[in-house]
Structure 1
Amino acid sequence: MIGERAVQRISSTRGFAKVAPHVIPVLDRAVHRLTRGKIILSAQMLPGVILTSVGARSGLTRRTPLACMPEEGGRSWILIGSNFGRDGHPAWTANLMARPDARISWKGADIAVTAHLLEGEERAAVWKAALAFWPPYATYQARIEREIRLFRIVRK
């Protein structure tokens, strides 16, 4: 089995950033569906959720598998809009900014949440924790000009 450091090195490459967005979400959604919400494939390395939000422009329901950083107490999670270190914010971040009420699937449970975009000192503190949690986020940020969006999602 590949170790965590090897996975971090691989996930920091530009090649990974090109391929992963087309492969990982598809596999995550399929495994999540087959296991009736109990397993997210990518969550074997990092905790993960399936975010169900409403499209900012389309108004359609969108299901997006995402890595997350659970916070103490089990009532909130941090979502990191890294987009694998690619240019452009991921669409789910615009969806949450337009419509912050959403749902997540977390360890098989369907949970209503509200999202809050982190800014200023609050963002800086969470960003520091995110880098300790998954160091490749630093590589992602270094190769793009936009500031990676961070959201705290809280149980309703």
Structure 2
Amino acid sequence: MANPVLRALRRIAAPVSRTRWFRRVGPRALPVAERLLRRATGGRLVVSGILVPSLVLQTTGARSGQPRSSELMYTPDGRGGAIVAGTSFARAAHPAWTANLAAHPDAEVVVRGRRFRVHAELVRDAEREATWARIERQWPGYRQYERDSGRTVRLFRLTTGAVPSPFDGRLWGRLRG
């Protein structure tokens, strides 16, 4: 059962995150705010981490081969891994990090200030409905981004050999619904 305060905050924030205003402002404002807070706290806190489990995904550019970083919400998959969704604020194009993971599935994440190696796998069609259901238990209405984007959002499962898994930490283990 999710923390009641967190559940109430999500009920307020989730509809706001689907507004046209948020979709215009969010892609510009959130990455800047995330980077500032991440630098100020050594990566232990991120803005989105107030409401949902969050990570910094560090990939290799699909075309450039250069390191790239993206702040993302994740959903624990219940098996020690994490699910990340390439919603990109319902934009028509896939976010670059999804092409990076498809080209270079071995990446790194920073979770609560700690760095871990991960391997990414595209979620298969047969698993998409169950995966979206899990994501929407955490963030109601999140799949609306897929519907509004007019594309099939790429869903990735991230796995790590780390024990204990950074994705099923005590904090989010208590708070997630």
Aligned-partner SS, 2:142? helix
Return the alpha-carbon distance in structure 2 between the equivalents of residues 42 and 131 of structure 1. 16
**2:85 maps to which residue?**
80
Structure 1 position 130, deviation (Å): 1.3
CA root-mean-square deviation: 1.6
TM-score by length of 2: 0.82
Q: Deviations along 1:39-80, whole A, 9 cap, x unmatched?
A: 11111011100000011111110111001112335x311001
Unaligned runs of 5+ residues in structure 1 are: none
Aligned match of 1:121: 126
Corresponding residue for residue 70 of structure 1: 76
Structure 1 letter corresponding to 2:117: A
Task: Report the number of matched residues.
Answer: 155
Report the TM-score, using the length of structure 1 for normalisation. Answer: 0.93
Structure 2: which amino acid aligns with 1:78?
I
Q: Secondary structure at the match of 1:37?
A: coil
Asked if structure 2 preserves the Cα contact closer than 8 Å seen for 1:11 and 1:136, the reply is: no
Give unpaired runs (5+ residues) of structure 2: 162-177
Structure 1 residue 6 displacement after superposition: 1.7
Aligned residues of 1:93 and 1:149 also touching (Cα < 8 A): yes
Q: Which has the higher strand share?
A: 1
Instruction: Identify the match of residue 13 of structure 1 among 12, 19, 38.
Output: 19
**2:156 partner amino acid:** F
- Preserved CA contact (<8 Å) 2:31 2:71: yes
Q: Identity percentage over the alignment? A: 37
Counterpart in the other structure of 1:42: 48
